[in-house]
A and B are shown apart, each in its own frame.
Chain A
Amino acid sequence: MLAPGHRVSDRPETAVGRRPLVYLRMGLAVALVAAAPLILHTLGFLGLVREAFWLTVLCQIGIAVIGAVGLNLLTGASGQISLGQGGFLAVGAYTSALLVTRFGVPWPVSMVGAILLTSAVGTFFGLPSLRLSGLYLAIATVASQAIILYLVKNWDAVTHGVGSVVVPRPWLLAIRLDNDLAWYWVIASAAALAVVTATNLMRTGIGRAWIAVRDQEVAAAAVGVRVGAYKLLAFAVSSAYVGLAGALTAQYTGIVTWERFTFDVSVLYLAMIIIGGLGSVSGSVYGATFMIALPAWIQQLGQSVEDTFPVITAKLPAVQLGVFGLVIVVFLIFEPRGLARTRQRINVSFRPWPFRA
């Protein structure tokens, strides 16, 4: 038996751990996330940005990161196309909200409940993946999205139908979570947890098995991977992350309505992981950041020219939609492996500097 951390042999290339440079980059990322509110405050103080607005955006990005990481494990790593993200977010959000408001459950427990229930529902709607793939699976997930949304909008007894569920502001220890700054730390911690656990999963046999199922089901079975079980596991684990994202949405925004969980939301998350990079956890982070920050930035631009061009504000949603579509089309034509690949390219081009010939 080898002791933990012991080199497999004396050859450095056989080490299981990571190169020091990777740890450095991870440290920088953590520092950036921790310092973000301060950076924002400084920029706001200098009059360059609207601090409150962007702090809200950061919170939204954090939640989106969790959802995108989950979806990427399912669609990117395991190859199971899912257009049902909106529906699963709804399950997470409504579960957490209703557990708190109807049953008086403490909100952290409601989050756990949301994670578990969404995971179960996700696994159920993942059953078609045992027999379907590609186009047919995508269609089945579209159906699951439509069915869940119908239940949300029409099951008045449970979900208040097309009304909304109002969630009271929760308490964390002695602090009332009623402002964006407090929520930023909660959400950032949850997002960090999601990113770390997902990265870990991809480093182990489970992540490998998922990629094997995606790339060559036949060969995966031939090495002993129980393909069906791993597909369902992908749905279960992915939905757990999505359930957490949904629950956080409910607690953070305080209001749960059906409009937040439509097919458009499923499309948005799919765009996040494609633009970020399919199968890459860091890609999910880039994609989520990009797809939330871009419309927010457009909105800011629109508001700043509101006085000179009032017509723009009315057309703003259409402009955001158009930019969204254009970004997807352009990325898929020119950088199909997403921002994660772009970052790799930048790394590679920097590596020989200053020793380039």
Chain B
Amino acid sequence: MLSPTATSIHSFELNTSTLAIGETQLRAADVGLRFGGLQALDGVDLNVRQGDIHAVIGPNGAGKTSLLNCISGFYRPRAGSLEFRNRGRAHDLVHLSVPNIARLGVARSFQNLELFKHMTVLDNLMLGRHSHMRHELLSSLVWLGPARRQEARQRALVEEVIDFLRLQPARHRQVGSLAYGLQKRVELGRALCMQPALLLLDEPLAGMNAEEKDWMVRHILDLNEVARLTVLIIEHDMSVIMDISHRITVLNFGRVIADGNAAGVSAAPAVIDAYLGVVDS
């Protein structure tokens, strides 16, 4: 039986990046971040190309999530620059607020699942559509007319994401009551509803069993191969990373110790040192 693929999402453009495949989409140059006495990131360079699955790996505490948080706008780096190219312009992410960066097309999932636990799956996904909707007080107060039509339209798009991620049975259930694996899927779905240009995934496979992981990886690959969506992913599962990534950046103690394709990175002595031989090809 054919499972729905990213091609089944046809009502709207899933990938809103305006760049051609291979062009530099996100460029981090010499990024530095400090928390009190702790140097979380030090001189980090990163080049993410449109259409790549770009992995960021490293031991715990290496600064991977901090890097993602800088890109999203939650942290402001003390040094360096973060440039995001979309819609014909280069945007300086360091000086933009979190909502504005999200509206540029940067969508993400979180390590600790930041879902709206008291809302239904549907409402969580509809919130992903927030920046694509017009929120007018007057028409919202009245409901009948433009507001209702907009809700119906957006529902149509969200339903396709629900189909793609197989969330139909959970549609009206409170997210807080779902199994962990399902919650992870909802978070991915919410990011997809944002029609991202760049998808940031922070440990999307953590806590899943082999079957769930397999399912999730297939869908991520689908998004990348069919919709040509750029994915910047943090993960600990080395076999998966080596398998699917076009580019890998390795962090340790806030610094980049290797950067390249899977073969190159797994052979780098610095990486082997950091992982003590855990890398498996």
Decide yes or no whether B151 CB sits under 8 A from chain A. Answer: yes
Taken together as a complex, chains A and B put the C-alpha atoms of A207 and B128 apart, in Å, by 14
Contact code string B181-216 (vs A, CB < 8 Å = 1, else 0) = 000000000100010000000000000000000000
A16 contacts B152, C-beta separation under 8 Å: yes
User: A8-B155, A219-B114, A223-B130 are contacts. A200–B147 as well, Cβ < 8 Å?
Assistant: yes
Report the bound CA distance from A204 to B146 in whole Å. Answer: 11
A219, B140: Cβ atoms closer than 8 Å: no
Contact string, A214-237, partner B, CB cutoff 8 A, digits 1/0? Answer: 011011111111110000010001
Number of B positions contacting A (CB below 8 A)? 46
Q: Which residues of A lie under 8 Å from residue B143 when comparing CB positions?
A: 200, 203-204
Give the bracket for the number of chain A residues in contact with chain B: 35 or more
Q: In the bound complex, how far is the Cα of B118 from the Cα of A211, in angstroms?
A: 9
B137 touches A206 (CB 8 A): yes
**Bound: A201/B137 CA distance, A:** 8
- Residues on B with C-beta less than 8 A from A211 are 116, 118-119, 123
Task: Indicate whether A104 reaches chain B with its CB closer than 8 angstroms.
Answer: no
Specify which of B115, B148, B152, B155 is in contact with A219 (CB 8 Å cutoff).
B115
Let me know if B149 is at the binding interface, CB within 8 A.
yes
Q: How far is the CA of A206 from the CA of B123 in the complex (A)?
A: 12
Contacts of A352 in B (CB 8 A): none
Would you call A4 an interface residue if the criterion is a C-beta within 8 Å of the partner chain's C-beta atoms?
Answer: yes
Residues of chain A in range 1-30 having any CB-CB distance to chain B below 8 Å: 1-2, 4-6, 8-9, 13-14, 16
A160 at interface, CB cutoff 8 A: no
Provide the residues of chain B in CB contact with A354, threshold 8 Å. none
Interface centre among A1, A205, A223, A226 (most CB of B within 10 A): A223
Within 211-229 of B, Cβ neighbours of A (below 8 Å) are at none
Q: Does B95 count as interface, using CB distance less than 8 angstroms?
A: no
Binds A, one of B44-52, B54-62, B102-110, B240-248: B102-110
B142 at interface (Cβ–Cβ under 8 A)?
yes
Other-chain residue from A2, A205, A227 in contact with B149 (beta carbon distance below 8 A): A2
How far in angstroms is the closest Cβ of chain B from A126? Answer: 16
| Least CB distance, A74 to chain B, in whole angstroms | 15
Contact between B110 and A200, CB atoms less than 8 A apart? no
Q: How far is the CA of A297 from the CA of B239 in the complex (A)?
A: 71
Closest to B171 in A: A13
Report Cα–Cα, A209/B126, bound state, in Å.
10
A200 to B152, CA, bound (A): 14
Residues of A within 8 A of B140 (CB): 200-201, 204-207
Q: Provided the pairs A2-B149, A221-B102 are in contact, do residues A14 and B127 lie with their beta carbons within 8 angstroms?
A: no
Quick check: B156 and A8 within 8 Å, CB to CB? yes
- By a CB distance below 8 angstroms, the chain B residues around A218 are 74, 114
Complex CA–CA separation, A62 to B164 (angstroms): 47
Contacts of A203 in B (CB 8 A): 143, 151
CB<8 Å pairs between A and B, sample of 12:
A16-B152, A197-B141, A200-B142, A201-B140, A205-B126, A207-B140, A208-B119, A211-B119, A212-B116, A218-B114, A221-B97, A222-B108
In order of increasing CB-CB distance, the 7 nearest A-B pairs are: A224-B131, A200-B143, A219-B114, A221-B98, A224-B102, A204-B140, A197-B141
